[in-house]
């Protein structure tokens, strides 16, 4: 049975972290495996350290770092599982996630990456995102993958290196682009994770900056026109669109729970 390592970067996410830890343990129990779960905390000043000190569900370190990407890379260096993924403190694994992933690798051992669908959770409203089959062409048109639903063989990092620590927002997309031409991807048609959308999330609170970083990153891969257009749109009207979308979804969620 392959060993599994999960890395959780965290900074002042104590309000969500307990659910994240529980979701990993539930997924491990469903799959009947032991998971090496390492929380890499950047020196939180909220209840994070007290929460971590009171439980035995995960290993953890808490010290200043250079941001989320640095924390993930630190975790990659300090874990040893054959299968690796990273799960932000405000995200969740679905209960059957690890069972689905391990079954996919059992059926297709040559796969370098296994990924699946995911849910978005916003204001209590959980909706499924169907990702679909992989292709490098699709990836060059935009990052269609939902990061917490992506699992990799450690050999991928050993061959291609760690995440680009100079990137704060689009490190996932850059890594997928970097490896896509020389790796075998397997799609699982099942939800593997739940990505939580909220106002304090790093990307959602800095959308124009995130899309500008993505434009510059994609330029290195010869992708020019679409990212330039998207970054300009986000700077001008896009962030208003997403703000109104968040308000609308919050109202829909409130209606569904009333």
**Which pLDDT tens digit goes with each residue over 21-53?**
999 999 999 999 999 999 999 999 999 999 999
Least confident of 63-77, 114-128, 156-170, 213-227: 114-128
Mean pLDDT of the chain: 92
Predicted confidence band of residue 62 (pLDDT cuts 50, 70, 90): very high
Residue 249 is predicted with a pLDDT of 67
Predicted confidence band of residue 206 (pLDDT cuts 50, 70, 90): confident
The residues spanned by each domain of the chain are 4-257
Alpha-carbon distance 171 to 165, whole Å?
8
Predicted confidence band of residue 248 (pLDDT cuts 50, 70, 90): confident
Please tell us whether the domain made up of 4-257 is placed in CATH 3.40.640.10: no
Residue 102 is predicted with a pLDDT of 98
Averaged pLDDT for residues 79-85 = 97
Residue 110 has pLDDT above 90, yes or no: yes
Predicted confidence band of residue 243 (pLDDT cuts 50, 70, 90): confident
Is residue 88 within 8 A of residue 11, CB to CB? The reply is no
DSSP collapsed to 3 states, the chain = CCCEEEEEEECCCHHHHHHHHHHHHHHHHHHCCCEEEEEEECCCCCCHHHHHHCCCCCEEEECCCCCHHHHHHHHHHHCCCCEEEECCCCCEECCCHHHHHHHHHHHCCCCCEEEEEEEEEECCEEEEECCCCCCHHHHHHCCCCCHHHEEEEHHHHHHHCCCCCCCCCCHHHHHHHHHHHHCCEEEEEEEEEEEECCCCCHHHHCHHHHHHHHHHHHHCCCCCHHHHHHHHHHHHHHHHHHHHHHHHHHHHHHHHHC
């Amino acid at each position: 049975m392959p060993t599994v390592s999960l890395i959780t970067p965290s900074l002042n996410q104590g309000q969500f972290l307990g659910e994240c830890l529980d979701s990993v343990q539930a997924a491990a129990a469903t799959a009947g495996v032991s998971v090496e779960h390492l929380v890499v905390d950047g020196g939180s000043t909220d209840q994070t350290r007290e929460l971590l000190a009171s439980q035995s569900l995960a290993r953890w370190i808490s010290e200043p770092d250079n941001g989320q990407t640095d924390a993930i890379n630190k975790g990659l260096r300090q874990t040893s599982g054959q299968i690796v993924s990273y799960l932000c403190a405000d995200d969740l694994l679905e209960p059957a996630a690890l069972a689905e992933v391990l079954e996919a690798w059992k059926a297709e051992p040559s796969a370098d990456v296994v990924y699946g669908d995911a849910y978005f959770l916003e204001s209590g409203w959980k909706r499924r995102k169907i990702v679909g089959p992989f292709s490098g062409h699709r990836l060059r048109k935009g990052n269609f993958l939902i990061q917490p639903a992506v699992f990799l063989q450690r050999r991928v990092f050993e061959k291609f290196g760690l995440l680009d620590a100079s990137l704060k927002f689009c490190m996932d997309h850059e890594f997928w682009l970097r490896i896509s031409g020389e790796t075998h991807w397997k799609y699982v048609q099942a939800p593997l994770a739940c990505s939580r959308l909220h106002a304090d999330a790093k990307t959602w609170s800095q959308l124009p900056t995130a899309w500008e970083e993505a434009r510059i990153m994609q330029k290195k891969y010869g992708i020019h026109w679409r990212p330039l257009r998207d970054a300009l749109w986000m700077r001008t009207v896009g962030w208003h669109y997403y703000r109104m979308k968040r308000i609308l979804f919050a109202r829909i969620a409130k209606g569904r729970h009333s």
